[in-house]
Structure 1
């Protein structure tokens, strides 16, 4: 796919006074974040090995290589952490990394272009695709009923949006 790295987490801030960080994991199993080898900043300028220490409110406590003080940890607040794609497990045919869906063209069952996937949201009740086509924005539940086909090879999604009440 277009990306050779996937965002797997973010540093939410310092935890304690000895350089520990509060880590937000974007992995299906939060603790898996420590198993992908060194993680990189988005710009690729820094890498960290991660050792999880304990569960904390809002995430996981962790020690990062090269981070020794609370000030070092606090300076990393908001930093996203990226794993090489090849370090991540392959998925079954009906599961996808969000990064693979961003930018895909979305068409209806008749082939009419609806737009492109700009973002994927998960507010707890399942994934929602944000599809942008010109000035129109569609929010589609990422369910088999609404999105029956995802063709990564063709970089295309077939969606059957629910009828609008307009």
Structure 2
């Protein structure tokens, strides 16, 4: 499953929910007839429950949505905090130079000099742009680098090679 966002609160009394999206094009989710919900974002696919999407619209920087299986506020409160996901085949194909966050997590990051900077452990949405969280090492010796996911720093993403090349120094 590709995790798309998280339900952050009930919205109104008719079962609508407010959603914090984890990407920059949540309006495209309206094209999907179903969403999959689970309280654990790393759960196996079999634990995700399918919900029919009745309606979805932008609301500020988030979304609000109505699901067929969520008829009222009590039902919306029961799924508060759940993650929203979809199987890869249900998602629209990303454009050239666009990536799903799930495709970037786990990739090795190297700089122009070929120095290994670590592995992408996650991404942060800052409003202006996304930021790669790059973990180098483990335990007390671990270093986390925050690298803006913009063309000035990210030179190329090679999904088949599982590598991101960046313009970033090891001591930054």
User: Are the equivalent residues in 1 in contact too, given 2:15–2:71 (CA < 8 A)?
Assistant: yes
Mapping of 1:1-166 within 5 angstroms? 5-42=1-38, 43=43, 44-52=47-55, 55-56=58-59, 59-134=62-137, 135-161=142-168
Distance across 1 between alignment mates of 2:58 and 2:149: 30
> SS at the partner of 2:30?
helix
Q: State the shift of 1:23 in Å.
A: 3.0
In structure 2, the CA distance between the partners of 1:132 and 1:17, relative to structure 1 (3 Å rule), is same
Distance across 1 between alignment mates of 2:60 and 2:98: 29
Distance across 1 between alignment mates of 2:27 and 2:76: 19
Distance across 2 between alignment mates of 1:163 and 1:75: 45
124-133 vs 17-26, which moves further: 17-26
> SS at the partner of 1:139?
strand
User: Could you tell me the TM-score, scaled by structure 2's length?
Assistant: 0.81
Distance across 1 between alignment mates of 2:57 and 2:113: 51
Distance across 1 between alignment mates of 2:164 and 2:61: 34
User: Are the equivalent residues in 1 in contact too, given 2:12–2:73 (CA < 8 A)?
Assistant: yes
Superposed CA RMSD in Å reads 2.3
Gaps of 5+ in 1: none
Aligned length: 161
Deviations 1:78-110 (A, max 9, x none): 111111211222223311111111010111222
